[in-house]
Amino acid sequence: MEKPAVIFDLDGTLVDTIADIRLAVEASVTDLGLGSLSNELVKTYVGRGLANTLRGVLSSFSITVTEDELRERTGRLVEYYRRHAVVESRPYDGIIELLERQQEAGMPLGVLSNKEDGLAKSIVATLLPTIEFVLVRGQRSGREIKPHPSTIGEFCDLLGRSPDTMLYVGDSEVDWQTAKAASVPVILVGWGFRPREALRALEGALFVDTVDELEEAINGV
């Protein structure tokens, strides 16, 4: 039986990036007097790209900005984040070992993120250097982002596989929507950036709480 190709979300699934994202958001709004932000606040808005993370954080303070100002502040955010993307970020416990076992078993592995493409590739190369992913795909100009099904479709096309031989692993409703739109089975993990209760309620998703449970679920597909 053919082993599934497994595509992983990055933030909140493979790597705990929230502290570095929070610091980058803070750097983009220092002039607004918001003070220190909490990881929990920023987590709420991660998953649809850094511009939407910033927009969401500002909206939580009832701050509305023009699109021009949002672009300017997002530029500040990205500039800071490029320089400090892996200061605090680390793979979750057990993730590297899991990926290495899957790699040794011959499973094709990939990463799909709504983070800017260069940033996603840099973080993966720095924090997961022993893993040979077939593709690390982030946000690129003129290309769709999650939850559009074409994002997973790129992996299908690259590997010459149909959606039913793929598996997507994420930690958010955006990941669930992406997999559902692409007709790909999905596993949602409970250690990421969304409340467990919200993930458990999503129809058709398999929910796991630990890396051991994730490995069992992947091997059982």
Q: CA-CA distance, 9 to 86, in Å (whole number)? A: 17
The whole-angstrom separation of Cα 189 and Cα 13 is 7
Query: Could you confirm whether 175 is annotated as catalytic?
Result: no
Phi and psi torsions of 184, nearest 5°: -115, 135
Q: What is the CA radius of gyration of the chain?
A: 17
- Residues in CB range of 131: below 8 A, 6 or more apart: 96, 99, 100, 103, 109, 124
- Contact partners, residue 147, CB within 8 Å, separation at least 6: 174, 175, 177, 178, 180, 181
Amino acid making up residue 75: G
CA distance 73 to 116: 15
Active site members: 9
